[in-house]
Amino acid sequence: MTRRRRKSPRLYLQNETQYDSRQLRAVITRVLRVVRKVEPGFTWSTRWTVVWTRQHRSCSGVATLGGARARLRLLRTGVSLYELSSLVYHEAMHLAGYHHGQFSYDWPPHLWEDFQALWSGPVTFVPKQIQSKPKPSKQERRVDHLERLRKRLRAWETKKKRAVTFIQTLERKIRYYERLQERGE
């Protein structure tokens, strides 16, 4: 008798920021390991969305109570490991079905020690800097525009050739059927 391999739960991460997705996933999975100690029935099959915060003061999050979706709003300037892991812990406890007041807002000291034992990554997370392209000069814009116009002209010339060929085909068919009609066939 063969054993069926149990499908491992999956963590879905949608990262809409410039933070490194691998680092975010590492923090979230390690926090969820610690949460499993508190709540053994907690499922890993959750969807985490990471977006920029509109506030400029602190990070925040929202999660469905006893659900499977959580949204983290992170600062553009960077976030500490403690702040990020506390936020993930807080939202994971909501996903596990806990209300405010049934758990502490920040890490309980013994769980924070467990998390630190699992963690070996950076202590501060900073978004990657994206290099912006230099603005093209007026001459470069004109050259690009001219290239686009030439490309459009070639496309329309191709359409014109196809139309002429199709018209010739239709005229040939019309002549054929007119000859047939004149012969009385």
Instruction: Enumerate the H helices of the chain as residue ranges.
Output: 21-38, 81-95, 109-118, 138-183
Q: Does domain 11-125 have CATH number 3.40.390?
A: yes
Question: Which pLDDT does position 71 carry in this prediction?
Answer: 93
Closest CA to 96 of 77, 68, 121, 127: 68
Distance CA 73, CA 71 (A): 7
Question: Which pLDDT does position 39 carry in this prediction?
Answer: 79
Question: Which pLDDT does position 151 carry in this prediction?
Answer: 95
Count Cβ atoms within 10 A of the Cβ of residue 169 and give its class: 0-12 exposed, 13-18 middle, 19 or more buried: exposed
Question: Which pLDDT does position 3 carry in this prediction?
Answer: 59
pLDDT digits (tens, 9 = 90+) for 40-57: 777 767 889 999 888 778
Phi, psi angles (nearest 5°) of residue 106: -105, 180
pTM: 0.63
For the chain, domain boundaries? 11-125, 133-185
- Listed as ranges, residues in the chain with pLDDT below 70 are 1-9, 44, 105-106, 118, 120-122, 130
pLDDT digits (tens, 9 = 90+) for 152-184: 999 999 999 999 999 999 999 999 999 999 988
